[in-house]
A = this chain, B = another copy of it.
């Protein structure tokens, strides 16, 4: 499989001749947390020129489609995912970024709970890759991925977005593992917990972990009612 669906740049150009003055696409960087690693969902490239390379999930924006609606459509078409966390990150438009012509792309990142969604991916040429073990990526997708990782790293410090990556109930150990995976660094346990509780994001689920190879920890869930993501201390707040 694979080669039957591959297209040459000439095919892409002729199929999209109306688009390729400047064409406009959307790419999605979909993050998941799996086996204590930050993962990204990639697709085998269907361009002959990028045989054996992988790419982000993307598509051209339809002429009758609002830009910010496109990533939701693409995610649903390619993965069945609906109602996911999605946010626009940046737009990439270097002249030579696409071999078929001038294609400018707006990038969105998404955070999903892998456990809920693993099964649906069986029938696609889709695969999760840990960000520390990336295969060769097509286009400028490596640069795009790095930009999104940086954005995520900045964000988790100030806003409660990581909970999109976890099951409903989780232990503090899992949460710290997730922060460490995203930041690619070890955090001091006591300090992390102290600052975490200052954020007022967590609520005791009144349950303990089960079937774990270590002393069971308390489970928490995200306190959705927190009104203010608030940096604990900032210049003007």
A24 / chain B contacts, CB cutoff of 8 Å: 22, 24, 93, 104
Tell me which residues across on chain B come within 8 A of A192, comparing CB atoms: 235-236
With a cutoff of 8 Å between Cβ atoms, the chain B residues found around residue A95 in the complex are 63-66
Residues of B within 8 A of A234 (CB): 157-158, 195, 231-232
Report the interface size class on chain A. Answer: 35 or more
A63 touches B22 (CB 8 A): yes
Nearest-neighbour CB distance to chain B for A79, whole angstroms, equals: 22
- Nearest to A183 among chain B residues (CB) is B236
- Which segment of A44-52, A84-92, A117-125 sits at the interface? A84-92
Known: A21-B63, A235-B199. A91 touches B94 (CB 8 A): no
* A residues neighboring B (CB under 8 Å): 18-19, 21-24, 61, 63-68, 88, 90-95, 102, 104, 106, 156-158, 179, 183, 187, 192, 195-196, 199, 231-237
